[in-house]
């Protein structure tokens, strides 16, 4: 994997870690409903899926690189 791809993965980690914790998670931490679904579980599921998609794209792009280095 290229250094750039690894950097992207680290960025994904940091962004996720922030989005899933206080104070950012507090934005969605409300008892209200959206389309009949509670807001917070939807928010968490969204972040989760976003992260899967982002890492999928990063990893797929970095596929052709060699396996040495950091």
Binding site for other proteins (CB under 8 A): 1, 6, 9-10, 12-13, 16-17, 20-22, 25-26, 29-31, 33, 35-38, 40-41, 44-45, 48-49, 51-53, 55-56, 59, 62-63, 67-70
> Beta strand 33-34 with 37-38: parallel, antiparallel or unpaired?
antiparallel
Give first-to-last CA distance, the chain, whole Å: 8
- List, in sequence order, the alpha helices (H) in the chain: 3-19, 39-61
Q: C-beta of 36: minimal distance to other proteins in Å?
A: 3
Question: Rounded to the nearest whole angstrom, what is the least distance from the CB of residue 68 to other proteins in the complex?
Answer: 7
């Amino acid at each position: 994997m290229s250094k750039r791809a690894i950097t992207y993965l680290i960025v994904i980690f940091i962004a996720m870690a922030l989005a899933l914790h206080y104070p950012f998670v507090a934005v969605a931490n409300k008892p209200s409903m959206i389309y009949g679904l509670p807001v917070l579980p939807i928010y968490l599921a969204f972040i989760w899926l976003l992260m899967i998609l982002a890492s999928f794209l990063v990893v797929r792009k970095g596929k052709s690189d060699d396996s040495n280095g950091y």
